[in-house]
Structure 1
Amino acid sequence: MRRQDDQPGVVKRQFGHRARLALDSAQAAVLDGQAHAARTTWNLLHDWWLMLPKAQRTLAAADTVIRQGRAELDWLGVLPAQAAQAVLKTYFQAWRNCWEGRAGAPEFKARFRTRMSIDIPQGRDLHVVRVHRRWGMVNIPKLGRVRFRWTRDLPVGRHADKHHKITGARLVKDALGWHIAFRVATLAQAPAPHPGPEVGIDAGITIPLALSDSETAEHEPWLSKKEEARLLHFEQRAARRRGHRKKGERTSRRLHKTYDQIARIRATAKRRRDDWQHKTTTAIANTYGTVVVEALSLGNMTRSAKGTVDQPGKRVAQKAGLNRSILGEAWGRTVELLAYKLASRGGTLAEVPAPGTSQECWQCHTVTPDSRRNQAEFVCNNPACGWEGNADHNAARNVLHRYRTGHALVPAAGRAVVRRATNGVKPATAR
């Protein structure tokens, strides 16, 4: 959020909303062509940039080259002009991020490994209207009017003005089809401090989220037994077909089809996980004023145990399964969702050091050997204490205790990890 200087107590809020498009096969083919044209525009621009001397690499020269290419190549001209300009701006921004140390250098976009997307930079071109309770209509350049699933109120019609409007959109394709992500800017009252209590959260596998007040947030497996069996079947089929492919030979259409079937099942699991995360984090943000989480290093936690040729690792398969479970829970995304949802409600998200929270007793705050009997049970071996209870709730209470005793993390740059209402910006897939 950004505070408006001319309107005290009012903040400018920018967020996104993603909705599913209802396309027939012909419309989907048109968007596929535009997305491939956008990807090719990026690749041609990248080659042009690397071939020219540094003195000739200018935005004006790149714009001239793109205009000439769209005029001479019909298959490149299917991309709307504003979408082509958006590719150019994104490419130049990628180099700025590289020069400023925020990202690596831009790279070539491969056909089958690149996410297909098309940018619509101006909201006035969309002409969004609501048809009825479940569906809306949006205008897509060079395609026309298309229906989309209406799942959230948008500033359209009489509800839209210069302060409340759709500023643009991006068309994105995943394994389940084409979606549109609207960019929305509105004005809202600055949130008052959240009156809710403080809570610590411990993230785990058996219990996804354990709270310090003995509450839990759990979910069913993302895929049913039948879906897991289908996924395993397609993965085995893909492995067999890869075995018949010779080195350097192009991937067959049958193998690509199998890859698509695998991607659709995994996309279904991801969508269910996102839905659960949104609902769970919204409930937590509505209930608690301060949420404390562990500062987990997921990269280190999910590092492979293979080792080296000279020193091979142990229990590699078991560690690989644990890594898949950790990555499947997407703890980092849960923290991101909590950050902006708490910020928009006047709440606070804080992070504390993670080491030792599972081995420490929350009652006497001593660490004794073998206190954690198993995944679910904690028994303090201190003779003066002897507390017994759920191990995850014990860790969550330790997390909250560390925050209350002043152990909230502060990075070296001096910016506190505590995230408050002044820096919450909702990501494009938020609800």
Structure 2
Amino acid sequence: MGEHGLVKRQFGHRARLALSPACELKADAQAHAARTMWNLLHVWWQMMPKEKRTLASADEAIRQARKDIDFLAVLPAQAAQAVLKTYFQAWKNCWDGRASAPNFKGRFRSVMAVDIPQGRDLNVVRVHRRWGMASIPKVGRVRFRWSKDLPVGKHSSKGNRITGARLVKDALGWHIAFRVQILEARPEPHQGPDVGIDVGVTVPIALSNGISKTHGEWLTKQEQAKLLHLEQRAAQRKQHRKPGERTSRRLHRTYDQIAGLRAKAKRRALDWQHRTTTAIARQYGTVVVESLTITNMVKSARGTIEEPGKNVAQKSGLNRSISGEAWGRTVTMLTYKTARYGGTLHKVPAPGTSRRCSACGFTTPGNRESQAVFVCKNPDCGWSGNADHNAARNVLHLYRMGLALIPTAGRAVVRRAQRVKPAAARQAGISLL
């Protein structure tokens, strides 16, 4: 928290890079060097005795590796130090129970990325309404898409500045993710109304006041047809590959085209989620959602050989639909956006919200006649309406009854750490950090 009622806010902003072929080759070389540096660190960690696994020894090892291996020199020294810090942090996350133990990074499995720890090295300027320029170490001056105002030039100060960035390559090309720190006025308490939210597949977001937030298909009909054609082509080419034979370049090219279309769909979904959650956070002071365990909801129904599951194909389709809507990401966006605009987000227990009548409180599985229609079976009520809006009203009702859940993430993390930390430490054979 700063002075005069100002608070410090840190966020990330991702922008598309417009790289020349030469600059793209340099960025690719740096990303491969960073991945190789990670793998060398992992080998060094496994070979060294536990008393010598220190940050200073690792720093000396990567400095020597940059001298002995020529292609590692394309990676800037600060980016190599960032790989080292990230690797040590990965072990800390493992011991604290927040992640699994770090492993080798494969060429095709891992994300190509390079870190730029110092924001002052970027020298970001705005040159056009749609474009900005930044300096990438050992790459040069590059253009990026200017889609958000950044603290540069006269708007840059000690409190408002770019602290660093990260180059990331996905199926749509290279992007730069800025780490931004700004000082802004503390938000006043939001005086807007309360609203309950029910997330679903048919209706992505249903509000308790009867408003629905929906979207269309993320890909056009032509793009969907092209994606189907590419998937069929990939399956045919994969059939002709012999066991143990390397994947052909044609098949890799087909996979890249498939990944490009899926990345385009994900980008459109993210844009819709950001716009929708921002509108909700601006309009409502208190947002109430269900506390859903999404990982359990998307488990496979295949079962075992002795006890095979039922309706496996239908459950698989439902799992894909739930994963495609990204309910957890929607809640995450609402959490930090409501706080930014002075509102609050609360979670309530999920069981029974879709079976309870919001008019009389009668609860039975028979109330839900279909996915979209709710009809109360209470003879004295008989209320009927949209099932999603009925669930959203029940979510808001639970909050007003004082049944909001207290966050227990800390205790959950402690229990996971008690299970994971000893096994991970014995596997790694370490006792430092």
Check whether TM > 0.5: yes
Q: Does 1:398 align with 2:361?
A: no
Equivalent residue in structure 1 for 2:315, among 316, 319, 340 = 319
Equivalence map 1:197-276=2 (5 Å): 197-276=193-272
Query: Residue type matched to 1:265 in 2?
Result: L
Query: How big is the shift at 1:288?
Result: 0.2
Query: How big is the shift at 1:68?
Result: 1.4
**2-structure distance, mates of 1:304, 1:369:** 23
Quick one: percent identity of the two aligned structures? 69
Equivalence map 1:10-409=2 (5 Å): 10-409=6-405
**1-structure distance, mates of 2:410, 2:169:** 40
- Per-residue CA deviations over 1:303-327 (Å, capped at 9, x if unaligned) read 1111111111111111111111111
Query: How big is the shift at 1:406?
Result: 1.0
Query: Residue type matched to 2:155 in 1?
Result: H
Residue range with higher mean Cα deviation, 354-363 or 246-255 = 246-255
Name the SS for the 2:382 alignment partner: coil
Query: Residue type matched to 1:195 in 2?
Result: Q
Name the SS for the 2:247 alignment partner: coil
- Per-residue CA deviations over 1:58-110 (Å, capped at 9, x if unaligned) read 11111111111112222111011110000000001111111222221110000
Query: Residue type matched to 1:235 in 2?
Result: E
**2-structure distance, mates of 1:255, 1:108:** 25
- Per-residue CA deviations over 1:363-393 (Å, capped at 9, x if unaligned) read 1111134212211111111111111111110
What 5-or-longer segments of structure 2 have no aligned partner?
413-433
**1-structure distance, mates of 2:365, 2:336:** 39
Name the SS for the 1:39 alignment partner: helix
- Confirm or deny: 8 A CA contact 1:372 1:379 kept in the other structure: yes
**2-structure distance, mates of 1:316, 1:401:** 35
- Confirm or deny: 8 A CA contact 1:35 1:116 kept in the other structure: yes
**1-structure distance, mates of 2:57, 2:20:** 39
Query: Residue type matched to 2:292 in 1?
Result: L
- Confirm or deny: 8 A CA contact 1:369 1:381 kept in the other structure: no
Name the SS for the 2:367 alignment partner: coil
**2-structure distance, mates of 1:349, 1:170:** 30
- Confirm or deny: 8 A CA contact 2:23 2:140 kept in the other structure: no
Residue range with higher mean Cα deviation, 265-274 or 224-233 = 224-233
1:420 matched residue in structure 2: none
Q: Runs of 4 or more off by more than 3 Å in structure 1?
A: 411-416
Query: How big is the shift at 1:170?
Result: 0.3
Please report the TM-score for the alignment, with normalisation by the length of structure 1. 0.93
What 5-or-longer segments of structure 1 have no aligned partner?
417-431
Name the SS for the 1:15 alignment partner: strand
2:427 matched residue in structure 1: none
- Confirm or deny: 8 A CA contact 1:202 1:293 kept in the other structure: yes
Root-mean-square deviation (CA, aligned residues, Å) is 1.4
Name the SS for the 1:97 alignment partner: helix
- Confirm or deny: 8 A CA contact 2:358 2:391 kept in the other structure: yes
Query: How big is the shift at 1:132?
Result: 1.4
1:154–1:351 Cα change, 3 Å: same
1:369–1:109 Cα change, 3 Å: closer
**2-structure distance, mates of 1:91, 1:414:** 24
Please report the TM-score for the alignment, with normalisation by the length of structure 2. 0.93
